[in-house]
Chain A
Amino acid sequence: MTISDISHRKRYLPEGNVYLPHIAVIEKIIYETPNVKTFHFNFKDEKLKEEFTFESGQFGEYSVLGIGEATFCISSSPTRRDNLECTVARVGKVTNALHRLGEGAEIGFRGPFGNSFPLDYMAGKNLVLVAGGIGLAPLRSLIWNALDNRAQYGSIDIIYGARTPGDLCFKYDLESWEKDSSVNMTTTVDREAPDWQGNVGFVPAITEKVAPSAKNAVAIVCGPPIMIRFTFPVLEKLGFTPAQMITTLEKRMKCGIGKCGRCNIGDIYVCRDGPVFSYEQIRNFSSDEY
């Protein structure tokens, strides 16, 4: 079974006019790095709060009303339903506006959209999760999901890197995964830094060093495009087949539902057909524009 075999399973589908955002309240803001915040939010509508479900890997369209809409994955796990979380780097108009909001402020949410990580396919396998920078956000949802259903998976290897120690996101999670004896956690930063005792080196190089076994394993890679491009060959060297490698792609999106046109790679619309793809799929895209 490959990802493409997994059809859109039964899941929460937005009803009615999919362009209308649901109002949600920011309950808590966590400062991840100077540029990244995680927002914990919940729908105002009690019924929706109850009914809303999603799967790891799906994304939403978040609006700051009057400013605009932006696309981020849901970085919390569907197994933890207290609230939804998204992790946002400050890069443009909407993200700047989001960062200016305080706890208690209201945002708009549309979603969930897109496909998700193929949990059925991963079940019973060893998971190798490779992430860089804010690319840990979608994987974090998957990691907690896997940890909450720990028995369903084999070993779990996490390789996570950032530019500097200060750029590491989810430090509180990293700590708890490090303590977790069922997780093999490796953290790295790009360059030597004062007070940094851990690994130094780029993620692909560290992956090569850690050398997770490809046997009965799935590798999930997420991070800046350059990191992804260099990590795939390393994994291939370690024996991973293209079908065993999974990533999630990022594109400029507006509608989230395959209509507005900009997120295509060939005839694939990342918002509708993705964002989760196997390397095998990507390799066969007619376009190199991923």
Chain B
Amino acid sequence: MLEKWQKEFAVFVPSKASGVSQMEVWDGQDTAFLDRNRNTAVPPKAKFLPGMEKMFGFRKEEGSYVVEPTDGEPPKQLLFGIHPCDARAIGIIDMVFKDAYDDKYYLSRRENTVLVGMACTSPYDSCFCTSLGFGPADATDVDIMLIDIGDALLIEEVTEKGRGILAGAKGVIEATEKDEKEAAAARESANAKVSRKIDTAEISRRLPLVFNDREFWEEVSAKCVSCGICTFLCPTCYCFDINDEMLQDGSGARYRNWDCCSFAIYTRMPAENPREEKWRRVRQKVYHKYLFYPELFNVIACTGCGRCIRQCPVNWDITQTLSKLPAGSPGKAEEKQKAS
């Protein structure tokens, strides 16, 4: 099946070939990812919002600048073995890039991509997706979904696109009732394996109350070292920076690259910086995911993939911070609201 798809798409699969586990072009042989299906370190968002992306080139012609848009459609790609959390995350950041102004770069890549989801059967101990409204084996924002039922893979068609790539595929047989049952069992057992929990309802209730609790934020942020690991590896973090490069001949290009709210320089202006202090940056990160994003798009910008917990140099654990939120202590926010 992969081989068939390879003719039409650039097929990406989870791989460690480069030295770090991420989505890589399938070499046509390796199928280790089918047997050992653990989530990649670098999230698949990198295939829509690359760490570095050329926006346009420019050159000088007779003393005058000419802007050269990056031409053509991005290549058609198929991402195989996307975990539900990462697929959900793609669905979440779609909203930003569609909001108000279309982001052509992101959306064109997105349109040219087929997502083949793979149920996650061995979540990490840092995973907490079940707290965010879906399980490790649920079909979220994918085109087709695969579930390992022992001797075969059960395929769920989810979208039109998904149906399209299955058409004419050999070796696909109608699922029996037994298969369906096994899939349901697999789903259940996967759900049970996710042991970390957060209470999103309680979090949404408490967050507005503790915004100005500086003491709390200083305490929880104390051990953060302000690196960019959690955000760069977060499947729902989409912030970027824009930078120009120039060659000696006066031509050059503009690129965008990942940026991160943990860096003090991120919001620094000549006169002042609204988030110079570390606790403000940590607070921003938590609030953006759990309060501001829901206010804008009605969905929490976190899918519980656990990467930020796994990869953090100091084990700064967002679930711990969220569960430690002071309960309804009337902070300044409330007073402020009362006052107005």
A261-B270 contact, Cβ under 8 Å, with A68-B243, A267-B291, A289-B275: no
| Closest-CB distance, A125 to chain B (whole angstroms) | 24
Nearest-neighbor residue (CB-CB) of B211 within chain A:
A286
Q: Is residue B99 within 8 Å, beta carbon to beta carbon, of the partner chain?
A: yes
Residues of chain B with a CB closer than 8 A to A68's CB? 242-244
Q: A66 vs B104: C-alpha distance in the bound complex, in angstroms? A: 22
Within 8 A of B (CB), among A56-84: 63, 65-69
Nearest-neighbor residue (CB-CB) of A268 within chain B:
B292
Nearest-neighbor residue (CB-CB) of B243 within chain A:
A68
Contact of B104 among A17, A23, A92 (CB under 8 A): A17
- Assess whether B58 is in contact with A65, with CB atoms less than 8 Å apart: yes
Nearest-neighbor residue (CB-CB) of B294 within chain A:
A267
- Assess whether B67 is in contact with A254, with CB atoms less than 8 Å apart: no
Nearest-neighbor residue (CB-CB) of A68 within chain B:
B244
Residues of chain B with a CB closer than 8 A to A69's CB? 242, 244, 254
- Assess whether B212 is in contact with A108, with CB atoms less than 8 Å apart: no
- Assess whether B105 is in contact with A19, with CB atoms less than 8 Å apart: yes
Q: Is residue B340 within 8 Å, beta carbon to beta carbon, of the partner chain?
A: yes
Q: Is residue B103 within 8 Å, beta carbon to beta carbon, of the partner chain?
A: yes
| Closest-CB distance, A35 to chain B (whole angstroms) | 11
- Assess whether B259 is in contact with A260, with CB atoms less than 8 Å apart: yes
- Assess whether B250 is in contact with A66, with CB atoms less than 8 Å apart: yes
- Assess whether B101 is in contact with A257, with CB atoms less than 8 Å apart: yes
Q: A260 vs B259: C-alpha distance in the bound complex, in angstroms? A: 8
Within 8 A of A (CB), among B213-253: 238-246, 250, 252
Q: Is residue A283 within 8 Å, beta carbon to beta carbon, of the partner chain?
A: yes
Q: A264 vs B259: C-alpha distance in the bound complex, in angstroms? A: 14
Residues of chain A with a CB closer than 8 A to B66's CB? 23
Stretch of B37-45, B166-174, B260-268 at the chain-chain interface: B260-268
- Assess whether B252 is in contact with A286, with CB atoms less than 8 Å apart: no
Residues of chain B with a CB closer than 8 A to A225's CB? 271-272
Residues of chain B with a CB closer than 8 A to A224's CB? 271
- Assess whether B97 is in contact with A108, with CB atoms less than 8 Å apart: no
Contact of B267 among A67, A252, A267 (CB under 8 A): A252
Q: A203 vs B199: C-alpha distance in the bound complex, in angstroms? A: 49
Residues of chain A with a CB closer than 8 A to B275's CB? 289
Contact of A108 among B67, B241, B246, B270 (CB under 8 A): B67
Q: Is residue B56 within 8 Å, beta carbon to beta carbon, of the partner chain?
A: yes
A264-B292 contact, Cβ under 8 Å, with A257-B100, A283-B340: yes
Residues of chain B with a CB closer than 8 A to A290's CB? 274
- Assess whether B261 is in contact with A23, with CB atoms less than 8 Å apart: no
Q: Is residue A201 within 8 Å, beta carbon to beta carbon, of the partner chain?
A: no
Residues of chain A with a CB closer than 8 A to B292's CB? 264, 266-267
- Assess whether A106 is in contact with B288, with CB atoms less than 8 Å apart: no
Q: Is residue B327 within 8 Å, beta carbon to beta carbon, of the partner chain?
A: no
Residues of chain A with a CB closer than 8 A to B256's CB? 260
Q: Is residue B333 within 8 Å, beta carbon to beta carbon, of the partner chain?
A: yes
Contact of A66 among B246, B259, B271 (CB under 8 A): B246
- Assess whether B56 is in contact with A19, with CB atoms less than 8 Å apart: yes
Within 8 A of B (CB), among A237-270: 250-252, 254-255, 257-267
Top 8 A-B residue pairs of the complex, sorted by shortest distance between their CB atoms? A66-B246, A261-B239, A91-B270, A289-B274, A267-B292, A267-B295, A257-B101, A66-B252
* A-B contact sample (5 more), CB < 8 A, given A20-B69, A65-B65, A259-B238: A17-B104, A68-B243, A259-B96, A262-B239, A272-B100
Residues of B within 8 A of A (CB): 55-56, 58, 64-67, 69, 96-97, 99-105, 208, 211-212, 238-246, 250, 252, 254, 256, 259, 261, 266-272, 274-275, 280, 284, 287-288, 291-293, 295-296, 333, 340
29 intermolecular pairs with C-beta atoms under 8 Å apart: A18-B101, A19-B104, A20-B67, A23-B66, A44-B64, A65-B65, A65-B252, A66-B244, A68-B242, A69-B254, A92-B270, A108-B65, A252-B267, A252-B269, A254-B241, A255-B242, A258-B101, A259-B96, A259-B97, A259-B101, A259-B103, A261-B240, A261-B288, A262-B266, A262-B267, A264-B292, A267-B293, A286-B333, A288-B212
